[in-house]
Structure 1
Amino acid sequence: MRKSILVLPLLALAACTAGPDYRGPASAGAVSLPERFARATDIAGAETPAVAEWWKAMGDQVLDDLEEQALSGNADIGVAQARIRQARAMLRAERANTAPSVNAQALYAHATLPGIDLSSSDSSSDGGNSGNQSLNFYNLAFDASWEVDLWGGNRRGTEAARAQVDAAEADLADVQVALAAETAQAYVSLRDRQQRLVLGNQKFERQRQMLSLTEQRRAAGTATALDVEQQREQLERTKAGLLPLTADRDSYLNALAVLVGKAPGALDDLLAAPGAIPLPPATVPVPDPAAMVRRRPDIRAAERRYAAATAKIGVAEAQRFPTLSFMGLIGIGGTHPDDVLDSGNLAAIALPQLSWNFLDFGRNAARVEQARGKQDEAAAQYRASVLQALQDCEDSLTRYGSSRRAVESAKRSLASAQRTYALMQQRFTARTATRIALLDAESRQIAGAEALTQASAEMTARFIALQKAIGLGWK
């Protein structure tokens, strides 16, 4: 009965857990979420977007293959995966802290003891010096220790480590989101530069012909030197504009190779031929703000770090209270090797220990205050992540909607340039317009195609940014 009276308080203490319990992300401070995004007007579809592989909605198989390679071979993925392994190892270590530790050791000692007579034992004299005796000692020992988690400090440590694992996994998903968007952006930019280089070379050829004809007219006295210089200036401006496009094209080829985990130049053969710019679907599925907050990996990572910081307050507070530990030692041995097999030489010690660092001049209180400060910091970072995500989505929706309107305007401009060229062809056929005027109209038509290409690439880039803002692209 007396043992039960002593054990029951210990069990009750062991059920205690220091520090605040985690109450979910709402405890970090309320962030008012609207029912829908203010900028999601006619561009947003009613269906729920898929989390992974949003790029397949653009119907470009080359892009699909590049995304698959990037998500499996990029170095940043390997870094994030290594951090997950580290966090999981830390969790295992924290769990192990709640279990007893057992050590085993074997000892052999040889000692020379001057001035002590050990003749009663089987020891030999040291080189004939009767004043010095030698002693051999053999021992096998096992010791075990266990600290009772009276205040739940170890449990809070395990809780914090588990939250850190969740945060590391969310970080991996965030890397996937960023990597998918970066790969798609680089691919779209590459196709844009390739298309504009083709059109730019076509325009350059038309302008070269215009310069040649103007020089002929100058020789015939029907054009001035000013006309020639104006044509030459336009030709050189077009030529100069092709140079940065070429550099950009090569840069995006290098970027894509590195993104998929290969050396620059490895994708040149695959991507050398110009390809069409992938275009987004007519409507884009956009979740409500609450669903976006649940999906974005960076927000989930911030929430998990807030949970870990909350648990670490309990770890710090548990250090303010007494600790109860048990230690046991079993040893067997003697002066002969056979003594380690003789149960009569068995020695055992059991030692319970209660310790309390009650006078630490405020050190533990400072550690608790530091832990609470880190919790406040994590809560603020979580709120900032949510607000930044809301801004990202609203900005992306605005820019994407604007880019769609810009594409429509570029289409109308190109259509007008095409009609102008058709009318000029009629006049040229009727011999009421010169060939230079016809080439100029064709150059303007090509310039309209360039503008549409650039606007289309910008629209797709804004679509990609919107998918990233929503938090899509992870598995």
Structure 2
Amino acid sequence: MRLTDRKRGYFSRPRRHVATALAGVLSIGLASCNLAPEYHPQKFLYPEGWEGKGVMGNARPADDALRSDWWTMFKDPILNEMETRMLQVNPDLQAAAEAFTQARDVAREAESKLYPQLTGAAHMSYNKGSVGRLYNNPRTSSSLVYESNQAYSGAATWEPDFWDSIRNSTRMEKNLAQATAAEYASAKLSLEAELASDYIALRGLDAQNAVYEDSIHYFKAAVEITELRQAGAIGAGLDVSRAQNQLFSAMAAQSTLVADRRVMENAIAVLLNTAPAGFHIAPVRDVKMRFGVVKVNPGFPSSLLERRPDIASAERHMAAASRAIGISRAAFYPHITLSADGGFEDGGFDLASVSRAFWKIAVQAVEPAFTGGLRRAALQRAWSQYRASVDDYRGVVLSAFQDVENGLTQSGQYKIAQDQQQKAVEAALRTQSMTMALYTGGLSNYLDALVAQQDALQARLGLVQTQTSQIQATVRLVRSLGGGWDVSELPGVKQIDPFGAFQYEGLHKPAPVAGIDAHESAADNDLSGDKGAKNVRGGLTH
């Protein structure tokens, strides 16, 4: 055999071995082993039917199932306009959308480790040696020599995901991103319900204020009657004092009510991204609350698990915790990294020559031999965190059933109380009218008339408060049932990626997904409340 043939065989054999080894590592890396336990959502046994007797009993979802714009059921145009505006400008809701964007980016960061990491470098230097450098002979002219160096290189590293550590990290972060999306939906529903409840409370205060105005008008008339009777020597001064005390006490209570209304109005303004000083909702002069009759279909208990965003968030946290077990298990196995780098380097400018090339291909395997229980502790903690997430999930489910049961009970019982209180108001008004007629005719003392007036006022205020509580209970029931949300609205795992692997444009913000849009607008900083508030300022027409 010729020498050239021997040289060719000497160099080609190791290269073939390296190529074969790299191909084997690549194939094993692509056919990895998932060490995470098989995940199944928890299943529960629960009583059939709802115990609470609310507006609707246990029934199958039908045409009256909740819609995402559930507040329109109250048939109030101002509430509709405010809910729409709040979803556009509320800062807390926008911050929740940004939290989802950040969770998507964290998931992308974890997924990026599945790809080879490529880097490039280049440098150029022009150097002069020092006369005083070590081992330099000052009698030579070497100190005057200028030395140059130029090089450019590239490197690539890749960690084959043998044990699905990277994949489980990616899946875990995507599950957490889905949980963040559910938390956004929960925050959205909470804000919608808070705004509706505050607005209903404000209209309840308007109705109470109208009751006070009627009563104050009546009390003023009573003061005039007692003064006339005293002037005619057929009434005592004590009657006048009692009537005046009744009048001014009612006026003081009305002033306190006006302050409470302003505080509630301020709370609504903040929800609408408006400074309270620039916001006002015209009061309604009506002793009755004019909201549409709302019927809520609770559906089957089993369907509640798919309609509550907080339950969906807890379930996604549970799924993420199961992936963390696979990550902890993978730490017991060796981690292998492939790397390659190469380039050209020359003391002059002749970089195109093959002889100036350099390269290196390496395979690194790391297996901790003894860590003093570090990996075992991490694995045990992962299992404990998973069990804790199961407990948290069960707690959220129980709380959801409690919320629905409370909403059904309260909305039903408050409706009964409202009917009963209406009868009490009718009786109190009759008593007030009769006792005042008897007093005017001199057939009764004023104390009986005074007690009847107080009873009538309290009965009328009680009716308004019961009406307010009943409508607010309906809002809480709607919220406890998910407000028309469904688990199908969660973004899928493939939708979590905020951009593609080779996308370098449009990185300011990701495209909206599952209706969650992280946006910014010049209108966000407009706290004057002038835009979109015409209907709010105009008041409600019945």
Q: How does 1:286-305 map to 2 (within 5 A)?
A: 286-305=298-317
Residues 66/14 of structure 1: CA separation in 2 closer, same or farther (3 Å cut): same
Number of the residue aligned with 1:92: 108
Matched, 1:354 2:365: yes
Equivalent residue for 2:252, pick from 240, 244, 260? 240
Mean Cα deviation higher: 44-53 or 73-82? 44-53
* TM-score of the aligned structures, taking structure 2 as reference length: 0.77
Q: CA deviation at 1:347?
A: 1.6
What is the aligned-residue RMSD (CA, Å)? 3.3
Mean Cα deviation higher: 408-417 or 140-149? 408-417
Q: How does 1:304-319 map to 2 (within 5 A)?
A: 304-319=316-331
Question: Per the alignment, in what secondary structure is the counterpart of residue 114 of structure 2?
Answer: coil
Q: Is the 1:191–1:274 Cα contact (8 Å) retained in structure 2?
A: no
Q: CA deviation at 1:211?
A: 2.0
Q: Is the 1:39–1:398 Cα contact (8 Å) retained in structure 2?
A: yes
Question: Per the alignment, in what secondary structure is the counterpart of residue 148 of structure 1?
Answer: coil
Alpha-carbon separation, structure 2, partners of 1:116 and 1:282: 94
Number of the residue aligned with 1:43: 56
Alpha-carbon separation, structure 1, partners of 2:128 and 2:371: 45
Segments of 5+ residues of structure 1 without an aligned counterpart are 118-124
Residues 42/257 of structure 1: CA separation in 2 closer, same or farther (3 Å cut): closer
Q: Is the 1:18–1:317 Cα contact (8 Å) retained in structure 2?
A: no
Q: CA deviation at 1:61?
A: 1.1
Mean Cα deviation higher: 136-145 or 364-373? 364-373
Equivalent residue for 1:32, pick from 24, 45, 60? 45
Matched, 1:373 2:389: no
The CA deviation string for residues 371-394 of structure 1, in whole angstroms up to 9 with x for no partner, is: 222212211111110011111111
Q: Which amino acid aligns with 1:195?
A: A
Q: CA deviation at 1:405?
A: 0.7
Q: Is the 1:199–1:450 Cα contact (8 Å) retained in structure 2?
A: yes
Number of the residue aligned with 2:477: 466
The CA deviation string for residues 268-327 of structure 1, in whole angstroms up to 9 with x for no partner, is: 1x4344576353535321122111121100010011011111111212221221011111
Residues 282/425 of structure 1: CA separation in 2 closer, same or farther (3 Å cut): farther
Equivalent residue for 1:279, pick from 276, 291, 303? 291
Segments of 5+ residues of structure 2 without an aligned counterpart are 1-15, 486-514, 516-542
Q: Is the 1:139–1:340 Cα contact (8 Å) retained in structure 2?
A: yes
Number of the residue aligned with 1:120: none
Matched, 1:456 2:456: no
Equivalent residue for 2:266, pick from 236, 246, 254? 254
Q: Is the 1:139–1:334 Cα contact (8 Å) retained in structure 2?
A: yes
Alpha-carbon separation, structure 2, partners of 1:388 and 1:453: 30
Report how many aligned residue pairs link the two structures: 462
Q: Is the 1:18–1:315 Cα contact (8 Å) retained in structure 2?
A: no
The CA deviation string for residues 62-86 of structure 1, in whole angstroms up to 9 with x for no partner, is: 1111111112211111111001100
Number of the residue aligned with 1:162: 174
Number of the residue aligned with 2:347: 335
Give the % identical residues: 23
Q: Is the 1:328–1:350 Cα contact (8 Å) retained in structure 2?
A: yes
The CA deviation string for residues 150-192 of structure 1, in whole angstroms up to 9 with x for no partner, is: 1000010111011011101101110111011100011001111
Q: Is the 2:180–2:313 Cα contact (8 Å) retained in structure 1?
A: yes
Number of the residue aligned with 2:495: none
Equivalent residue for 2:122, pick from 93, 106, 122? 106
Equivalent residue for 1:184, pick from 196, 202, 207? 196
Q: CA deviation at 1:468?
A: 1.1
Residues 360/139 of structure 1: CA separation in 2 closer, same or farther (3 Å cut): same
Q: Which amino acid aligns with 1:72?
A: Q
Q: CA deviation at 1:203?
A: 0.8
Question: Per the alignment, in what secondary structure is the counterpart of residue 115 of structure 2?
Answer: coil
Matched, 1:267 2:279: yes
Alpha-carbon separation, structure 2, partners of 1:127 and 1:380: 84
The CA deviation string for residues 241-291 of structure 1, in whole angstroms up to 9 with x for no partner, is: 2132111110111111111221114331x4344576353535321122111
Number of the residue aligned with 1:387: 398
Q: How does 1:410-429 map to 2 (within 5 A)?
A: 410-420=421-431
Structure with a larger share of its residues in strand: 1
Alpha-carbon separation, structure 2, partners of 1:342 and 1:433: 125
Alpha-carbon separation, structure 1, partners of 2:319 and 2:424: 55
Number of the residue aligned with 2:225: 213
Alpha-carbon separation, structure 2, partners of 1:449 and 1:127: 114
Alpha-carbon separation, structure 1, partners of 2:216 and 2:419: 26
